[in-house]
Amino acid sequence: ETNTLPFHPFENQQGDILRMEKEHQVLTEQLKEAEEKFEQLQSRSLEEIGALEELLKKSIEETEVSQNELDWFHQDSEAQTKKWQQEKKENRENLKALRGTAKKHSDTNERHLKTIDDKEKQYNACLNTFLETSNKFANEKGKLEELIKKSQDNSQECVKRAVKAEVSVLQNWKETEIWKLRGTIAKAEGNLRMLKALSSSASAAPVLKPQIGSWEIFISNVKKQLEKVEAEYEEKIELVKNGARNCLSKVEIVDVPSP
């Protein structure tokens, strides 16, 4: 009867221990497979977690860049908004000023229209008076035309005489100024010759050399003044001959101080 009856308390019926051993072996194999799968799954999970962490880091960096760009965009948007508000304010002020100007021009236009109407009425009244009196003065027109022609001839003759007189005055002024400047140049050249003669001695040369230079500069400046005066008077004379008016004025003379 050995091993033919259940082994109490471990078996309720025969074969429970063998069945439990088989189940334990099966469970052990399943546990081993589960542990292998868990290790594989854990390895893949670690790799996926590493990749996800890298992706997350990259996403965070991109998010920071996007946030910076968004901040910049907000700042630019605020600046643009302020600029648009300022332009809007300026446009409103300009529009207000333009409306005021338009109203001012409109009022001025109305005043001008009224003035034109008044002037037109005055013109019509004057025209009627002119038409009434034109026949009266028709005979005098010929006489007036003759007088006008005679006056024009006299005026032209007066203009010719006036031009001739202005030219004569300018010519006299020119000759007077040129005579004065040439006299100054002659005196200065005499002084220069005397200084050069005195500077022939070795003892006097160092003392007189600066004075000789000063007189040479003075003579050069006076000659330039002479050329300027002569040219400006000639220009005035030509302008007068060509019909210009208000040219009868003396040329400004710069007083060149002598050494």
The contacts found for 236-243 with CB under 8 angstroms, 24 or more apart, are 236/170, 237/167, 237/170, 237/171, 237/174, 240/163, 240/166, 240/167, 240/170, 241/163, 241/167, 243/163
What was the pLDDT predicted at 8? 67
% of residues, the chain, pLDDT over 90: 38
- Token match 């109407």: residue? 117
CB-based burial label for 92 (10 Å; 0-12, 13-18, 19+):
exposed
Q: What is the mean pLDDT of the chain?
A: 86
If you search the block for the tokens 């946030």, which residue do you land on?
A: 67
Torsion sign across C-alpha atoms 90, 96, 97, 99: positive
Which of the four pLDDT bands, split at 50, 70 and 90, describes residue 127? confident
Tell me the per-residue pLDDT of 135-167, one tens digit each, with 9 for 90 and over: 877 878 888 888 898 888 888 888 888 888 888
> Does the pLDDT value for residue 52 go beyond 90?
yes
Q: Compute the distance between CA of residue 46 and CA of residue 38 in angstroms, rounded to an integer.
A: 12
Cα 237 from Cα 247, distance rounded (Å): 8
With b meaning 16 or more CB within 10 Å and e meaning fewer, what string describes 158-167?
Answer: eeeeebeebb
The distance from CA 15 to its chain's CA centroid, rounded to whole angstroms, is 111
Predicted local confidence at residue 3, as pLDDT: 62
Cβ proximity of 177 and 253 under 8 Å: yes
Name the percent of the chain lying above pLDDT 70.
94
CA-to-CA separations, 59 to 25, 48, 62, 63, in angstroms, rounded: 49, 16, 5, 6
Report, as an integer, the average pLDDT of 231-252: 83
Q: How far apart are CA 42 and CA 134, in angstroms?
A: 126
pLDDT in tens, 71-93: 998 999 899 999 999 999 999 99
pLDDT at position 82 = 92
* pLDDT value, residue 132: 85
Q: Taking the CB of residue 173, how many other CB atoms lie within 10 A of it? A: 17
Res 21: pLDDT: 86
Give the model's confidence band at 32: pLDDT under 50 very low, under 70 low, under 90 confident, else very high. Answer: very high
The pTM of the whole model exceeds 0.85:
no
Exposure letters 115-146 (e unless 16+ CB within 10 A, then b): eeeeeeeeeeeeeeeeeeeeeeeeeeeeeeee
